[in-house]
Structure 1
Amino acid sequence: MSLVAVDVSLPSESFAMGRVLQNGLDVRIELARFVPTGESTVPYLWVESNDLAAFEAAVRKHDRVAHLTALDEHAGRTLFRVGWTITADPFLDAIVDHELLIEHGTGTAETWQFQLRSPGRENLSAFQQTLQDHEIPIEVQRVWNPTTPTSDQYGLTPKQRDALYLAFREGYFDIPRETSLSALGAELDITGQSFSRRLRRGTFALLSNTILEE
């Protein structure tokens, strides 16, 4: 059995946690790293919003939420701990039941993006079947072997691919930019300068093996 990583997306309204945390608000949520269990489902969240008070009020009044506590604030984001009164959520339950881990998760009012890790392709297939049975629509964007150390078809190393993916996801290439090199480096526990070098090398490899390749 070999590890399999997968990037998936699904509408916020299609699973319970997405509905509770978004509630139609203009907010961006990032899950802090954790191992999901039936007893402690998604306890820590980084939240970025222009109206944090509205987010707190909307979440606290929901019958699924026992408490919402602000723990820290950094770079315009607030870290919350959430206590749930009802932990049942078919999407998250399927992750636990099929022994998947959430490597990363971000959500907006419309869509959630998750990077999941599975012990094998059989578990991943069973997970997808469970979601289909519950009529939870997901879009599989990428499946790969995270333990493979070699470069991919575009000449990228795994670290370069991760840097490019993170920069794109966090809005580094948007106009105006929505993040900085130092913030992106912090996500990977490296300096902004190191992230910049990794991003430049990844961009060079990607261009060399795509539009510049004859």
Structure 2
Amino acid sequence: MSTIVIGTVPATEFALEHTLAAVPDVEFECERIIESGDDTVMPLLWARNAPKERLDEAFEADASVENVTLLADFGDEYLYRMEWVHHIQLLLGMLTNSEATVLDAYGRDDHWRLRVLFPTRDAFSATHEFCNEHGLTYDVESIREMDGEPAGRFGLTEGQYRALVLATQRGYYEVPQRHTLEELAEEVGVTHQALSERLRRGTAALVEDTLLVGAVPDET
């Protein structure tokens, strides 16, 4: 069964350690990561919250990257293609040994946060063993096994998934609303309080699973 794992990796064991330290406010988000050789991967990644000049200087001095190419400049964010050549054993292990897919990778401060799809739970276990054997750090925050149902792909219960889909189909989120919460609750066969809770919890789970992967956890 496919398994989605969210975890963090220190920048010292991953990539762009120097750049993250030299440009403290920068945030990186990987658009795509491609294996390009035995000891190299080629990511496309967005850089935000940093002047291009400071990024260029940091990349030049960063031993973990080579062949940095600016693909797009939008003034406040930049799309780069580059090669990661140092401290990527964990990433290579995921892509090759475990046949994993890196769905999201966000770098900020002194760490990277990854959301990774493993084809099986055993494949994730192989990555865990790889880390132990090579002295690598992969601090797992959450593990979710996908059961093949659409709800499982997004961290939703079946009830939350159906409630969100129905609310969207019936125009509950439109302005003006085409159906009220009470009308939807009657169709589902639950109280409007129960349906409201499903929608709130489902929305929170969906946002957390898709939009907050790279966000700093709220410690309040």
Q: Give the TM-score range, shorter chain.
A: 0.5 to 0.7
Give yes or no for the alignment of 1:117 onto 2:117.
yes
Amino acid at match of 2:5: V
Give yes or no for the alignment of 1:4 onto 2:3.
yes
CA separation in 2, counterparts of 1:170 and 1:63? 24
Contact 2:27 2:107 survives alignment (8 Å): yes
Find the counterpart in structure 2 of residue 107 from structure 1: 107
Find the counterpart in structure 2 of residue 51 from structure 1: 51
Shift in alpha-carbon separation, 1:150–1:103, aligned structure 2, 3 A: closer
Amino acid at match of 2:88: D
CA separation in 2, counterparts of 1:99 and 1:136? 18
* 1:12 CA drift (Å): 1.5
CA separation in 2, counterparts of 1:122 and 1:70? 38
Shift in alpha-carbon separation, 1:123–1:172, aligned structure 2, 3 A: closer
TM-score by length of 2: 0.65
Partner secondary structure for residue 208 of structure 2: helix
Find the counterpart in structure 1 of residue 208 from structure 2: 164
Find the counterpart in structure 2 of residue 32 from structure 1: 31
* 1:37 CA drift (Å): 4.7
Shift in alpha-carbon separation, 1:108–1:150, aligned structure 2, 3 A: closer
RMSD: 3.1
CA separation in 1, counterparts of 2:141 and 2:23? 25
Find the counterpart in structure 1 of residue 20 from structure 2: 22
Find the counterpart in structure 1 of residue 91 from structure 2: 92
Partner secondary structure for residue 80 of structure 1: strand
Greater Cα shift, 22-31 or 74-83? 74-83
Structure 2: gaps (5+ residues): 165-201
Amino acid at match of 1:164: E
CA deviations 1:149-173 (Å, max 9, x no partner) are 3474695439843323344446599
Find the counterpart in structure 1 of residue 150 from structure 2: 149
CA separation in 2, counterparts of 1:105 and 1:139? 14
CA deviations 1:40-78 (Å, max 9, x no partner) are 613311001333312211112334433212111347210
Partner secondary structure for residue 37 of structure 2: coil
CA separation in 2, counterparts of 1:33 and 1:122? 24
Contact 1:60 1:67 survives alignment (8 Å): no
Find the counterpart in structure 2 of residue 191 from structure 1: none
Aligned pairs, number: 171
The structure with the largest alpha-carbon Rg is: 2
